Structures are given as structure tokens and as C-alpha cells.
Amino acid sequence: MTDGAKAVQLCLANDIRTAEALDQCRARPDGTPPDLRPPTVRQITVPTTLSAGEFSAISGITDERRKVKELFRHPLIIPRAVMLDPAITVHTPEWLFLSTGIRAVDHCVEGICSGEANPYADAQALHGLSLLTRGLPRVKADPGDIEARLDCQIGSWLSMGPLAGGVPMGASHGIGYVLGAVFDIPHGHTSCIMLPAVMRWNKAVNAERQALVAAAMGHPGEDAGEVLDAFIAGLGMPRSLGAVKIGPESFDMMAEQAMGTPWVPRNPRPIKGPAQIREILELAA
């Protein structure tokens, strides 16, 4: 809903009344932003999930005509104020709160493991990851643990440090866009399914960075992909494409489409073509 409200701000400011007219808000082919009037109606957000979209100036929207998730940007669509109130999150369905918490974990992990990581982003992402991975199991064990919920909310806020610091996401986010747009998989679940597989595939090039992830999660010296997989399992979340009824017959199409997402080209282990995406999908099967 937060991203939808951000898009509405652009639509109101630029007299956009149809899905087709929203096309004019896309970045130009050379990557430069379109000439848009800035929003005049600002947003105040009181989040009840942990995806953390309220902390970015990006709105992710699925084009239902093409089944493609796109990013729309403007510096003034970021909410004017965000109020974190853990008490209202007790009404959020458990699966939604926990799975969006893994989405925030995905922000932290892909930021830490990026080949473009920087110390400013690391400081926020590592602390955010620690808060999230301590808080989410406590919420699972006791839904009334307000302090744990607040830890998760603060961890979610810190998870956006990499993006705010100019650090890109990687293949977990990129492939997740395809899962969401084509198969309607909730984006929290896309991270539950893809992040461990992407970590395993990337380990050949960023084992030292992955070691930081395992340590921040309280498992120094262990394999970060395995630690994440076990953590996600402990929350009762889906951990494979098969669990959401996506089989190998869809892998070629998914691999082709993932190559067009903004994050796959920025993955720390270079992805040269769909065949390598398929390798990751097979790890997540």
C-alpha cells in the first residue's frame, strides 16, 4: 500500500488517470528520469509490515499488461513522516509480518554482500540484520512481544541503509520481481524462497562478505546460505519454488525475464545470461 500511495502522488501531480498514461513516468531509455512535476500532496505512513518501502523514494508497480514489475522514482515521493508503532502490528497476519521481515533481511543481506558495498551502508545493514534476526523469532514465539516487534521495525528501517547509500540489490530481488509480477507470489515470500539460493550461488565471489552476514545472525564461522535457510524454516515460511507450485517448466521464461530487471545486472557474481539465472532457480527448486 505504501508504494501504491507513492505512485498516486505522482499521478495526482501529473494528471495521470489511466494505467497507460503512467508509462510517461518511466525513466528514459538512457536511464535519465522523466520530466515530472513534483508531488504536492505528501504522504504520512504508519506501516504495519516490515518491507520498508516507506523509507525509499522508489515505487514498485506491476504492469499487469506485460506482467513486469517496474520502478518509478522521484525524490519527493518518499513519505514526509513515518511513525513506527509496534502495537498496531499485532493485527497484521503472522505470515505477512514474518515474511516481510525476511524481505527486510534480504535488503540487509544483499546490501552487505554487494560488490558495491560501503562502510556507511554496512553499519546500518549489519545492525538491522541483527535486530531482525533476533526479533522475528521472538514475535513468532510470542505475538504479544511489543519490544520484539519494535526491534523488527527498527531493523526494517535500518535495512534500507544500503539503498539509501547507493548500494544496489542483487539477484534475489531481481528474480523476486519476476515471481511477484508473473506468479503473484507475495514479495516477502519471494525473498524467503530466493535469498538462500542466491547466497549459495554467489559464495564463490563473496565468501568474506557472507561471513559478515553469518556473524551478524549469531552464527560466526557458519555458511550464511545455510544459516538463512534454517532461519526462514524456523519462521515457517516457504523455502522453495516447489512450495509455491512453480516447476522447472517455467524456469526458462523466468530466467529470460529476470535478465531485464534492474538488480540482476548488479549481482555481485556477474550474471551473463539466462543460463546462469536458471542455475539459481534450480538451487531454489
* Residue 122 belongs to a domain: yes
pLDDT at 29: 64
The backbone region for 245, taken as left when phi is positive above 0, alpha when psi lies in -120 to 50, beta otherwise, is: left
Domain count, the chain: 2
- CB contact set of 74 (below 8 Å; sequence gap of 6+): 9, 10, 33, 36, 38, 39, 57
Please answer whether residues 177 and 69 qualify as being in contact, where contact means their C-beta atoms are separated by less than 8 angstroms. Answer: yes
User: Could you list the residue range(s) of the whole structural domain that residue 17 is in?
Assistant: 2-82
Phi, psi of 44 (to 5 degrees): -115, 130
> Does residue 59 carry a pLDDT above 90?
no
Report residue 284's pLDDT band, with 50, 70 and 90 as the boundaries. very high
Calculate the alpha carbon distances from 273 to 120, 238, 246, 254 in Å.
Answer: 32, 27, 21, 12
Domain boundary among 30, 55, 82: 82
110 with 142, same domain: the answer is yes
> Does residue 122 carry a pLDDT above 80?
yes
Q: Note the pTM of the prediction, 2 decimals.
A: 0.92
Which tops the pLDDT comparison, 1 or 124? 124
pLDDT at 30: 63
119 with 209, same domain: the answer is yes
103 with 73, same domain: the answer is no
Compute the mean pLDDT over every residue in the chain, rounded to the nearest whole number: 93
Report residue 67's pLDDT band, with 50, 70 and 90 as the boundaries. confident
153 with 34, same domain: the answer is no
Domain boundary among 18, 48, 82: 82
125 with 241, same domain: the answer is yes
The three-point CA angle 186-108-212 to 5° equals 135
Please answer whether residues 171 and 113 qualify as being in contact, where contact means their C-beta atoms are separated by less than 8 angstroms. Answer: no
